[in-house]
Amino acid sequence: MERRRVLILMGRYLPGYKDGGPVRTIANLVDTFHEKIDFKIVTSDRDHNESEPYANILHHEWNKVGNAMVYYVPPNGLRFSLLRKLAEDTHVIYCCGPYNNYSIKMMILKKVKLINKQVILASMGSFSQGAYNIKGFKKRLFVNLFKYLGLFSSLIWSVTSTIEKKQVQEIIGKDAKCYIAEDLPRQFPNEIKVKCKEPGTLKIVFISRISKSKNLDYAIEIISGLKGNIDFVIYGTQEDKGYWNKCIRLLHSLPNNISWRYEGEADSEKIIDIFSQYDIFLFPTLGENYGHVIYEALAAGCIPVISNTTPWLDFNEMKCGNVIPLNDVNRFIEVLEAYVAMDEADINKISENAYEYAKQKYSEAVQTSGYLHLFTDL
Q: How many CB atoms lie within 10 A of CB 137?
A: 8
- 177 and 210 both lie in a single domain: no
Interval 206-211 mean pLDDT: 95
Helix (H, G, I), strand (E, B) or coil at 217: helix
- 178 and 295 both lie in a single domain: no
Interval 52-59 mean pLDDT: 93
- 207 and 250 both lie in a single domain: yes
- 138 and 281 both lie in a single domain: no
Interval 227-243 mean pLDDT: 95
CA quadruple 279, 283, 289, 292: dihedral sign: negative
- 191 — pLDDT class (breaks 50, 70, 90): confident
- 39 and 57 both lie in a single domain: yes
Instruction: Give percent of the chain above pLDDT 70.
Output: 99
Q: Which domain holds residue 76?
A: 4-184+366-376
Residue 43 lies in a domain: yes
End-to-end CA distance of the chain: 15
Residue 193 lies in a domain: no
pLDDT at residue 124 tops 70: yes
Over the chain, what is the mean pLDDT?
93
- 342 and 258 both lie in a single domain: yes
Q: How many domains does the chain have?
A: 2
Nearest to 288 by CA among 323, 263, 316, 317: 323
Instruction: Give percent of the chain above pLDDT 90.
Output: 75
pLDDT for position 1: 56
CATH of the domain at 308: 3.40.50.2000
Residue 321 lies in a domain: yes
Residue 189 lies in a domain: no
Residue 331 lies in a domain: yes
- 176 and 42 both lie in a single domain: yes
